[in-house]
Amino acid sequence: MLSHVAKKGENSLLIFDTSRWAPKGMIALDVAEDGSDLPNRNLIGPVTSIKLMGGDYLVNLEKPLEKDIASETKVRMHLPHDSSEHVKKITAKGEWVSCGRRIQALPKATRAQVFIMAEQAILFQDVHIEVFPENLAE
């Protein structure tokens, strides 16, 4: 959460707690503690450095702010990473292999994509993708 107002044109923020934050990440604004804002595209950054300054953390940004940000705005660090979910690694040696797993999507996801990577030519038979209702238990 921002501890002070951040003005347009500034390239730093004062934030109450930045534990588990790291330089190079982006800062998501107006976040929800339950994650219901995900995917959150209201981002600023990237962060160039984080330094303890008094009781708050001074977070420096690569680019100046394009708008004012109110004090007590809830924020979260989004670290750069691959957005895909590694579900299953399969080694098939001359036999058919069956596999499956349920994938949990982000709360506001509107689409998903299946990606299969192989080191050699492969053949698929009876591929089945099923979308379950939201209220279906694990």
Task: Say if 24 falls within a structural domain.
Answer: yes
Which residue is it, tokens 């698929």? 124
Q: How many domains does the chain have?
A: 1
pLDDT in tens, 2-59: 999 999 999 999 999 998 898 989 999 999 988 888 888 899 999 999 999 989 999 9
Nearest Cα residue to 61 out of 32, 21, 33, 19: 21
**Phi then psi dihedrals of residue 121, to 5 deg:** -60, 135
Quote the domain boundaries for residue 27: 12-78
Tell me the whole-structure pTM to 2 decimals: 0.63
Task: Say if 103 falls within a structural domain.
Answer: no
Task: Say if 63 falls within a structural domain.
Answer: yes
